[in-house]
């Protein structure tokens, strides 16, 4: 732990944000151990690192969402202190991992709230972000559109520095490219500190990159310098997933875990979002669902789970289940890992897992979740809300597996995760599939679909527009248009 009060680099005129020896301890656990990081005026500075490195905690230390227990942070040479709202008024803008918009307000009303707390007239970047129908309610928007709305709200305030936490999470490739162009165009005008895992996005936008590990910044430089750093490569970047990683699968016979739909339509309120979807997942196989944000992927999965009203036929393990409620489907062997994990943040890891075994689940195979996810055992007494994104995702999958499902449905399980963690999640899913567990997987990363799945389908505007074996050549025919 750092001792004393470190000197801030306030005399360096081009430094707008300067952190020296920043330490944070939460519930007796040290998260940051003395972070040193400087952001230059007009710079696009990207913070990367493995899940659990402390990136989001450092962002929270800047904005006042956590208490700094050592060191200091200065904005334009003035030490940051006080409440979250005071820091916002002083020029700190913040976008969160999970978009924090006013769900029941329209897009226009959300933007009006942001404009009423404008810090300066430097809001030119916000004008470049298209969020679509201004009269649409925020809770009706797809995840990527909510990301853009929150980004536009933050930049509309004209912050001295915009702290963006995982701004590309859940976006398609084309949406990430559009966002990168908007951010890059603001270089020299708007200062950004961006926490990000998408290396293509980082390479496109970053002036400098800092790498965090174990609560410390251990390297800083250009993207090329960081990407060539052997410590970064070993701890974070990992290798590239390929379809060849799937190996041989042992197929189980019969209907256990098999799900089929015929002319399935799924509604949200009065809107028919998914139409005429026919899919077939034989026992022990894995289906990947690809599509842009708003294409209907999550709606399709919630329809299979019985959480949204449907019409058409759904057959699970040879039995029609279209009229069964979600809880009966869960007891019958279907488990859902929802987008955003949806853990009980104030409960411990163990308490979250205990809830999965509260009543009867399916009759599928018993998996040792501590063996699948060895990082969870030391975290059993920690509150779920204090875990990294990767740790939370492991808890979410473990919770679903404790239901002993024969069919596992996963909605964006690698969203916002570091490349090395994505590999670990994909390896677990490959293993589960090889053990005979049927899987339906909605994913933005085509490499995960290629590595895990046997077949794929593409949704566009709520309709299936392509399908086939999950190999790169087949997916290429549809993916480039996403």
CA distances from residue 57 to 7, 60, 76, 307, 330 in whole angstroms, order as listed: 22, 5, 21, 34, 35
Residue 26: inside a domain:
yes
pLDDT tens track of the chain, all 482 residues? 333 333 344 344 589 999 999 999 987 888 999 999 999 999 999 999 887 789 989 999 999 999 999 999 999 999 998 899 899 888 999 988 777 888 889 888 888 887 766 666 566 667 777 777 888 888 888 777 888 888 888 888 889 999 998 888 767 777 788 889 888 988 888 999 999 988 889 999 999 999 998 899 999 999 999 988 888 877 766 555 554 444 545 455 578 899 999 999 999 888 899 999 999 999 999 999 998 777 899 999 999 999 999 999 999 999 999 999 999 999 999 999 998 888 998 899 999 999 988 877 778 889 999 999 998 888 899 888 888 888 899 999 999 999 999 999 999 998 877 777 888 899 999 999 999 999 999 987 788 898 899 999 999 889 998 898 888 878 877 765 55
Residue 6: inside a domain:
no
Residue 4: inside a domain:
no
Residue 9: inside a domain:
no
Tokens of residue 217, six digits: 């910044």
Opening angle at CA 297, ends 414 and 345, nearest 5 = 50
* Together in a domain, 258 and 228: no
- Tens of pLDDT, residue by residue over 408-440, are 999 999 887 777 788 889 999 999 999 999 999
72 neighbors 35 (Cβ within 8 angstroms): no
Residue 82 region by backbone torsions, left for phi larger than 0, else alpha for psi between -120 and 50, else beta: left
- The radius of gyration computed from the CA coordinates of the chain, to the nearest angstrom, equals 23
Question: b/e per residue, 272-301, with b = 16+ CB within 10 A?
Answer: bbbbebebebbbbbbbbbbbbbbbbbbbbb
**Domain tally, the chain:** 2
CA–CA distance, 430 with 427 (Å, rounded to integer)? 5
* Together in a domain, 353 and 431: yes
Domain that holds residue 300: 243-479
* Together in a domain, 209 and 64: yes
* Together in a domain, 45 and 194: yes
- Tens of pLDDT, residue by residue over 49-95, are 887 789 989 999 999 999 999 999 999 999 998 899 899 888 999 98
Q: Domain containing 344 — which CATH number?
A: 3.40.50.300
Of 266, 294, 271, 267, the residue nearest 132 (C-alpha): 294
CA–CA distance, 11 with 22 (Å, rounded to integer)? 19
């Amino acid at each position: 732990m750092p001792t004393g009060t470190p000197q801030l680099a306030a005399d360096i005129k081009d430094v707008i944000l300067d952190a020296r020896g920043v330490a944070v301890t939460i519930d007796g656990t040290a998260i940051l151990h003395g972070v040193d990081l400087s952001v230059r005026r007009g710079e696009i500075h990207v913070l990367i690192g493995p899940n659990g490195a402390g990136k989001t905690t450092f962002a929270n230390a800047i904005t006042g969402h956590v208490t700094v227990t050592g060191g200091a942070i200065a904005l334009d040479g003035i030490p940051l202190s006080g409440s979250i709202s005071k820091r916002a008024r002083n020029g700190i803008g913040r976008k969160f991992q999970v978009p924090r918009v006013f769900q029941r307000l329209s897009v226009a009303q959300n933007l009006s709230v942001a404009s009423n707390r404008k810090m300066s007239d430097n809001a030119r970047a916000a004008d470049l972000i298209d969020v679509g129908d201004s009269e649409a309610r925020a809770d009706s928007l797809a995840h990527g559109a909510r990301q853009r709305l929150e980004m536009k709200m933050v930049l509309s305030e004209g912050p001295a520095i915009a702290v963006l936490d995982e701004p590309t999470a859940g976006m398609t490739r084309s949406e990430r490219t559009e966002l990168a162009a908007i951010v890059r165009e603001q270089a020299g005008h708007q200062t950004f500190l961006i926490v990000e895992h998408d290396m293509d996005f980082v390479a496109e936008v970053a002036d400098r990159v800092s790498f965090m590990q174990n609560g410390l910044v251990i390297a800083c430089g250009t993207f090329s310098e960081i990407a060539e750093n052997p410590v970064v490569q070993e701890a974070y970047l990992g290798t590239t997933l390929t379809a060849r990683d799937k190996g041989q699968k042992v197929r189980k016979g019969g209907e256990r875990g098999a799900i089929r739909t015929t002319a399935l339509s799924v509604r949200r309120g009065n809107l028919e979002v998914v139409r005429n979807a026919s899919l077939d997942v034989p026992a022990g196989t894995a289906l990947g669902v690809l599509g842009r944000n708003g294409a209907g992927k999550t709606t399709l999965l919630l329809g299979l789970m019985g959480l949204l009203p449907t019409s058409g036929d759904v057959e699970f393990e040879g039995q029609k289940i279209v009229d069964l409620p979600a809880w009966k489907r869960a007891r019958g062997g279907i488990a859902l890992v929802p987008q955003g994990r949806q853990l009980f943040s104030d409960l411990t890891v163990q308490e979250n897992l205990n809830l999965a075994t509260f009543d009867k689940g399916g009759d599928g195979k018993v998996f040792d979740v501590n063996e699948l996810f060895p990082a969870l055992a030391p975290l059993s007494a920690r509150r779920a809300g204090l875990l990294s994104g990767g740790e939370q995702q492991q808890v979410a999958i473990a919770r679903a597996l404790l239901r002993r499902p024969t069919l596992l449905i996963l909605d964006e399980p690698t969203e916002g995760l570091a490349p090395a963690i994505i590999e670990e999640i994909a390896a677990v899913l490959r293993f589960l599939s090889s053990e005979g567990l049927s899987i339906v997987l909605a994913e933005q990363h085509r490499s995960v679909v290629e590595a895990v799945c046997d077949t794929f389908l593409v949704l566009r505007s709520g309709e299936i527009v392509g399908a086939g074996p999950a190999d790169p050549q087949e997916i290429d025919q549809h993916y480039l248009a996403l």
